[in-house]
Chain A
Amino acid sequence: MSDELFVVEDLTVTTSTGRGPVDVVKNVSFTVGRDETLGIVGESGSGKSMTALAVLGLLPRGARTSGSVRLDGTELLGRSDRELRPIRGNAISMVFQDPLSSLNPYYTVGLQIEEMYRTHRGGSRKAARQVVIEALEQVRIPDAGRRIDQYPHQFSGGMRQRVMIAMALCCSPSLLIADEPTTALDVTVQAQILELLAELQSTTGTGMIFITHDLAVISSIAQRVLVMRSGDPVEYGTAEQVFSDPQHDYTRMLLDAVPRIDDEVAS
């Protein structure tokens, strides 16, 4: 076996609709190595997020999965909620798109990170608090010792996403799934968050799945790319391959849709 950290084979997700079952993800396969970033690209409804949720068993009620999802050789698919709990947030953690609605408005950010840390690692609240402050400092939240006791609505969008990232990384997971982590943020903040993720990944050695509809973002962060459309895996390969020599018309179309700075402008 290679040193692949995370292997997905023939993952199919079926949800039931009023008109019968629909496959929203069809036979998706990919691998993520240690230290590696896989980018999953596609338009809305292409099944990117469903793939991510299926990995952690977080699909909506009534959705079924088939195929195989393995972390370090351990099969995750088909496990019960209770069996998946020690893995969620601990071995595989996730950062979601909208940090405001993804954080519980009723609790301080400190408590929300702390409860996760203590669920997986145990220990006293006091010790956990120190870990949380360090996690917040790691994502460069200024004055972390004070901000730990603030509520999500007291943070700016970018800072909230930093909180989510601090939370996702505080148990040192081996795989981080970032589902459109920069989509809800404005462009300058996007760049900061991307830079932060890349930097944290290089220091922690975490494998990462980065889901986005933004090809520019993928090209700057991913080593491998999976292109999806309507639940189908359209193209899969190294970033270099996919960007310089796309095999599929849809990928070419996506690439052409991105304006390039060296394009000639018709005058």
Chain B
Amino acid sequence: MTRYVLARLGGVVVILLAVCLFTYLIFFKLSPDPAVMICGKTCTPERIDSIRSVLGLNQPILTQFGEFLRGIVAGRDYGAVHCPAPCLGYSFQTNESVWSMLTSRLPVSITVAVGAAVLWLLAGVIGGLVSAVKQGTWWDRTAMALALGGVSVPNYVLALVLQYVLVVKLQVLPFPSAPAFGDDPVLWFESYLMPWVVLAVGYACLYARLTRSNVIDTLSENYYRTARAKGLGGALIMRRHALRPALTPIATIFGMDFAGLLGGALITETVFGLNGIGKLAADSIAKNDQPVIMAVTLLAAFFVVIGNVVVDLVYTALDPRVRVVSA
């Protein structure tokens, strides 16, 4: 098992290096010259040259890439400025350290992702389960019709409609402002409620449909029939012989979805003006702020790749058939 985990982590490092290289090539080589961008309108060729040498842009591309990687691990110097590890460079727009931009935005994205995940898991799994058990009834039909509708509504539409109704018209919620939890827990909750709901709706509908079909499949499994023939009933048979087998594949999908969200909910954060990683990504792309684009891309890749490994490890715990036999 330890060997398996180590091998997987080795794989993670390789994948992240490859993602780094790709993003680096795309954003630094194929984009407009950063030195020209930093230099601004009142620019002289000498100034551009000096910016290039400070940023190391006059070096061969692989040397630059090596410097970039070394910066992440050990920090690096830009002229007289020392950028401590982990160094992802400085924003071309604000001169802020990219690392501190990420760390200040990450809590917002994590809050959005965790809250939404709790909502969509509860709503999706419970809704799907009830639908499966009451298969063919009006509840099932209504819930599944709603789920289809929910999957189909783009979340920016839902976000704007909710904001208009709840904030502007009814004035039951404040405009989302991402306050710290410690300052005002009530405002914190009210502030994040709409983003959570908006983000959760699509996933909840998807998970409800998935849960429903998985549970229905499980109810027709031979082992479920055996469990009934054994005289089991009520909560025990549901929990052990229907839910556990039906939800195990959903755990995999959930891991991937959640990991993807940690890298920022671009649309939701932007619509609600929440300063998370998603909004940072949108802003940096709009302004072609290459170090920031690079960093958010790497961060998203990092979460997805790590999420993948975690899902695989959790899966071996959930399904005895894929458990790795330790030598």
Encoded as 1 (CB less than 8 Å from any A CB) or 0, chain B from 224 to 238 comes to 011111111100100
Contact residues in B for A94 (Cβ distance below 8 Å): 226, 229
For B244, give the chain A residue with the smallest CB separation. Answer: A106
Contact B222 A115 (CB under 8 A): no
Residues facing B in A5-39 (CB within 8 A) are none
CA A122 – CA B225 in complex, angstroms? 22
A96 touches B222 (CB 8 A): yes
Cβ A153 vs Cβ B321 within 8 A: yes
List residues of A whose CB falls within 8 A of some B CB. Answer: 56, 58, 81-82, 84-90, 93-94, 96, 98, 101-107, 115-116, 119-120, 151, 153, 164, 167
Taken together as a complex, chains A and B put the C-alpha atoms of A167 and B232 apart, in Å, by 13
Measured in the bound complex, the distance between the Cα atoms of B236 and A98 in whole Å is 23
Whether A58 and B229, one on each chain, are in contact in the complex, defined by CB atoms closer than 8 angstroms, is yes
**Interface assignment of B66: CB less than 8 Å from any CB of chain A:** no
Please state if A88 and B230 are interface contacts (CB–CB under 8 Å).
yes
- B320→A119 contact, CB < 8 A: no
Interface status of B209 (Cβ within 8 A of chain A):
no
Are the CB atoms of A106 and B248 closer together than 8 Å?
yes
Whose C-beta in chain A lies nearest to the C-beta of B248?
Answer: A106
Q: Using known A-B contacts A81-B233, A119-B231, A167-B230, determine if residue A104 contacts B225 with beta carbons closer than 8 Å.
A: no
* Interface residues in B223-261 (C-beta closer than 8 Å to A): 223, 225-233, 236, 240-241, 244-245, 248
**Given known contacts A58-B225, A104-B223, A153-B321, A88 and B240 CB-to-CB distance under 8 angstroms:** no
Which 6 pairs across A and B sit closest by C-beta, in order of nearness? A89-B231, A88-B231, A89-B230, A101-B222, A116-B230, A104-B223
Residue A120 contacts which of B221, B231, B240 (CB distance < 8 angstroms)?
B231
B321 contacts A88, C-beta separation under 8 Å: no
Q: Are B222 and A105 in contact (CB under 8 A)?
A: no
* Cα(A89)–Cα(B318), bound, Å: 28
Docked-complex contact B231 and A96, CB < 8 angstroms: no
User: What CA separation (Å) do A103 and B222 show in the bound complex?
Assistant: 8
Shortest C-beta distance, A169 to chain B (Å), equals 12
Alpha-carbon separation in the docked complex, A133 to B73 (Å)? 56
Known A85-B233, A115-B240, A153-B321: A103·B228 in contact at CB below 8 Å: no
B residues in contact with A151, CB < 8 Å:
320-321
Give, as a whole number of angstroms, the nearest-CB distance from A185 to chain B: 16
Q: Are B226 and A115 in contact, with the CB atoms below 8 A?
A: no
Q: Which residue of A lies closest to B229 (CB)?
A: A94
Q: Assess the A104–B227 pair: CB atoms within 8 A.
A: yes
Given A85-B233, A116-B232: A153 and B226 interface contact (C-beta under 8 Å): no
Smallest CB–CB gap between A79 and chain B, Å?
13
Question: Given the complex of chains A and B, what is the CA–CA distance between A103 and B240 in angstroms?
Answer: 12
- How many angstroms from the CA of A164 to the CA of B229 in the assembled complex? 12
Question: Within the complex, which residue of A82, A89, A102, A164 is in contact with B225, where a contact is CB–CB below 8 Å?
Answer: A102
B96 at interface, CB cutoff 8 A: no
Q: For the complex, is B319 an interface residue (Cβ under 8 Å from A)?
A: yes
Neighbouring B residues of A116 by C-beta, 8 Å = 230-232
Known: A102-B226, A104-B227. A119 touches B248 (CB 8 A): no
